[in-house]
Structure 1
Amino acid sequence: MGNSKSKKNSKVSSIVKFIIVVSLIGLYSYTGAVGFKSIFGYKVAPFTETIKKGLDLQGGVSVLEEIQADEVDEATMERTIEMLSMRVNPDGVKETSVQQEGENRIRIEIPGEFDAEKVLESIGKTGKLEFRDPDGNVILSGDEVTDASAYLDQYSSPTISLEFSAEGTTKFAEATEKFIGQAIGIYMDDELLTNPTVNSTITDGKAIITGSDTLEEASRKAGIIKSGALPVTLKAVEYKTVGATLGASALPLSIKAGIIGILIVFIFMIAYYRMPGLMANIALLLYVFLVLGTFSTIEATLTLSGIAGFLLTVGMAVDANVLIFERIKEELKLGKTIKNAVDTGFSRALSSILDSNITTIIAAIVLYSLGSGSVKGFALTLMIGIVLSIFTALTITRLLLNLAINIGLIKSSSHFGVRRG
């Protein structure tokens, strides 16, 4: 009697958990796809609006810079391109393009940005970066700054963090001790970038600068400080805004193709694996929106190559579920119970899933490290997708399967498409 009551309570608990899990996945997916006009006075935009799109999908700014020198060696050109890339894409998540054009020109393309003057302001600072005391004397140069970044402090105030080299630390310590209560200006090309006041002596080689109006402004200043002076002088010979290079229909057609492909996968999983296939589809739905949510969170820029990488990872996520289900079917054919077959199937499929995905992640890391532009975007998409596909296959699919078994949605081998003789 007591055992029967315990089983009934366990079943009720599993039903409640199953409903909660499926409801949360459904709510998250709905929010990502449609959004909400108002939740407690705030609008929640769908991922189609929050994910940034590349130059090939939405257009942006194109700037052509010319090096003001008779001859430019290869090393100088590479260094200039590297530092310009750092200025226009300090976080490495935007699909910016900085490429040599001809012998002494560099083409810079920034998707989603249509203010050419603002871009020129960011990349056009080409002279010396200097820290000057209140009398205008140079304290230290940009070469003695090893790092600069922007963030929001505990009070949500935009803040710039600086780190100095050993020599720069000594110079800055002496200056901050001497000029407490006074301002030390940071100049680029003799133009004042920021003029922070010294509040205390800084001896550890780390300083913070407050006073920026927005995080975007702080990030721009930090990017200029970090990249320092370019090795050459540049002159903008052309700058313009451009439309989407693949036309306005490229994005909707890509989304349509992706939806059709994912629906075909969903239909296959249900037709071949029955009820377990439905559980896998619920996990795959969560996977799709987790990937899109991650793109939105890190402010990555999505291009057609990124969409291709995303759809590829959907296939890899399905592949992980297929491996698991085939292992489960093998165990069922050996006469094991549904519960034991599921546990053993996941355990035996784990090594195969990890081996195949880890090797792909290694390849993606190499592509991201050595590639540029669309190649880098494809690699980033691939890495994010693989990590999340492993998570959803090994945790969400397993959770849903076990709950479905506990509540009786899956109670015989025929639900996996296995007929016992």
Structure 2
Amino acid sequence: MIDLALWKRLAILFVCLVGLALALPNAFYSRAERHNDAMTAIERGAVTTPEMAEDIAAWPEFLPSGVVNLGLDLRGGAHLLAEVQLADVYESRIDAYWPEVRDTLRDLRDTVGTIRRQNGPGDALSVRISEPAGLQAAVDAVRGLSRPITSLSGVGQQDIEVSGSGDTLTVRLSEAERAAIDERTLAQSLEIIRRRVDEAGTREPTIQRQGGDRILIQVPGIGSAQELKELIGTTAKLTFHPVRGETRDPNAPVSADQILLPDIDDPERFYILERTPVVSGDDLVDAQPGFDQNGSPSVTFRFNPAGARIFAIYTAENVGSPFAVVLDDQVVTAPNIREAITGGSGQITGNFSVEEANRQAILLRAGALPAAMTFLEERTIGPELGQDSIDAGQTASLVAMAAVVVFMIASYGLFGVFATVALGINVALIFGILSMIGGTLTLPGIAGIVLTIGMAVDANVLVFERIREELKTARGPARAISLGYERALSAIVDANITTFIIATILFMLGSGPVRGFAVTLGVGIMTSVFTSIFVTRLLIIIWFERRRPKQIEV
């Protein structure tokens, strides 16, 4: 018989109703999205404005509010391809060795004489000694500073190579250490960019590595590529340096262990600072916009315990000396240390606007990029182009659905009508699931939905054709319908499992648009099997119980 237990009927109806409820916000996309954006802003600590309160009230709280996120090609936004300057990281890494090398060679002063750092390539540390006879001893001592590489690819190798010639000792990074730095730098850059974009409240960005030193960034809904560059292209590197002097000469000579940086408020004023910072933004755990004692916008920051300890020790030992706060290679302020700063927190003041203070806080809170980036490609996709893509996708979907509906009704009559109703529920379930999982819909994703519409009736065709065959031999229409579903089930499951496997492979191995297509195709396969096997069958059973026909035509 074709009867279904009551609990099965209720379960099928429950799934359909939940799917329709989850898909409903997409029919009122702008209202639901404004509601979600306002709620997110409040959760991030924003002050509730009348406009935000109006947006929150625009959508009922008791209804689901999740919507399908629109990708870059549908919503418009910014596209960037950035190249990470890994050479900067090599230079910074080798520069960090100078204090250790200096202290080590000072302990051998009787053997090597005086030591002086020499200018040279950025990825090498050159130190000249006054006693060439002690060069080998110096090389052996500095070689003891090397550390084993912890990455899997560099197991058993050291991070530096030390050599000597004449009266000069040279320290370079080993090739294995460079490879490990490349991996770490790209991974850190990806994470920091993602955190910065998320802090700005953008929706469903695409951030992925391309090649050995490039990163692809696509952010839907952002105004322009320039706006995105300003958000992620700044290194926002915060460091604290001892001050050794001031000058008005931009070409003032400085030693190899010093740097010359301009004042952020007075470009004609320059500070001579020690190259190696006492503490850096890597030790920051929080940064927030605020106001100083004069009511001017500022940025407050807080160190982790290690940074706070170093900061406290240095300020205690250098009371009365000037101390420079450097942000992105510009001196923000250089006050004298009046007393030891032991609280682990501080404040950056300057000629900030409220927007600049907020942006700097976002950048510092997200962390400093380990290296600068060069933008090789930038593109802005306007909302108008995105709307054109949506309109084209809607047209394609409607045409596909209309063609399928006409074919099914013409071929199977009333049973074709049941299949059409199930098809509409199927599309709603797809959008409901995508909304629930926070999926992103792209133009290839729309193609996946259109393909699903065509594939969704395959199972119904198999069942209906099987019912036709059973009507010739079975005893009565009820038996023919029951056998039709029973004997078509294995073919339906086999066909859809193989397609689902392909969708899974596309998702795992693909990226960007390919994954968007795979997601909608995979979700569509699951919903089409459900609607074909259960929803269509429930509709046929309800009709059959009400009409009790002696004969049926499929």
User: If the TM-score is normalised by the length of the shorter chain, which range does it land in?
Assistant: 0.5 to 0.7
Q: Which position in structure 2 is the counterpart of 1:334?
A: 473
Q: Work out the CA distance in 2 between the residues paired with 1:36 and 1:68.
A: 41
Q: Work out the CA distance in 2 between the residues paired with 1:25 and 1:77.
A: 45
TM-score, structure 1 as length reference: 0.60
In structure 2, what residue type is equivalent to 1:69? L
TM-score, structure 2 as length reference: 0.47
In structure 1, what residue type is equivalent to 2:407? F
Q: Which position in structure 1 is the counterpart of 2:421?
A: 282
In structure 2, what residue type is equivalent to 1:345? G
Matched, 1:378 2:517: yes
Deviations 1:299-341 (A, max 9, x none): 3221211011111111221101111111111111113321111
Matched, 1:411 2:549: yes
Q: Work out the CA distance in 2 between the residues paired with 1:331 and 1:60.
A: 55
Q: CA 1:31 to 1:365, structure 2 compared with 1: closer, same or farther past 3 Å?
A: closer
Aligned to 2:84, which of 67, 87, 91?
67
Q: Which position in structure 2 is the counterpart of 1:345?
A: 484
Structure 1 residue 291, shift from structure 2 partner: 1.0
Q: Report the number of matched residues.
A: 318
SS in 1 for 2:475: coil
Maintained 8 Å contact 1:313/1:382: yes
Deviations 1:252-291 (A, max 9, x none): 1221121011011111111111111111111111111111
Q: How does 1:252-401 map to 2 (within 5 A)?
A: 252-401=391-540
Q: Work out the CA distance in 1 between the residues paired with 2:474 and 2:463.
A: 17
Aligned-residue CA RMSD (Å): 4.9
Q: Percent identity?
A: 35
Q: How does 1:128-207 map to 2 (within 5 A)?
A: 130=283, 136-138=303-305
**Higher RCO by CA contacts (8 Å cutoff, separation 6 or greater):** 1
Q: Which position in structure 2 is the counterpart of 1:200?
A: none
Q: CA 1:123 to 1:272, structure 2 compared with 1: closer, same or farther past 3 Å?
A: farther
SS in 1 for 2:457: helix
Aligned to 2:206, which of 67, 90, 96?
96
In structure 2, what residue type is equivalent to 1:255? Q
Q: CA 1:371 to 1:94, structure 2 compared with 1: closer, same or farther past 3 Å?
A: farther
Q: CA 1:54 to 1:124, structure 2 compared with 1: closer, same or farther past 3 Å?
A: same
Q: Which runs of 5+ in 1 are unaligned?
A: 1-9, 141-182, 192-220, 417-421
Q: Work out the CA distance in 2 between the residues paired with 1:261 and 1:330.
A: 28
Q: CA 1:135 to 1:59, structure 2 compared with 1: closer, same or farther past 3 Å?
A: closer
Q: Which position in structure 2 is the counterpart of 1:179?
A: none
| Greater Cα radius of gyration, structure 1 or 2 | 2
In structure 2, what residue type is equivalent to 1:346? Y
Maintained 8 Å contact 1:52/1:112: no
Maintained 8 Å contact 2:283/2:304: no
* Greater mean alpha carbon deviation, residues 334-343 or residues 237-246: 237-246
Q: CA 1:126 to 1:294, structure 2 compared with 1: closer, same or farther past 3 Å?
A: farther
SS in 1 for 2:86: coil
Q: CA 1:105 to 1:31, structure 2 compared with 1: closer, same or farther past 3 Å?
A: closer
Matched, 1:113 2:222: yes
Structure 1 residue 232, shift from structure 2 partner: 4.5
Q: Work out the CA distance in 2 between the residues paired with 1:85 and 1:357.
A: 39
Q: Which runs of 5+ in 2 are unaligned?
A: 32-56, 89-177, 238-280, 287-300, 308-342, 349-361
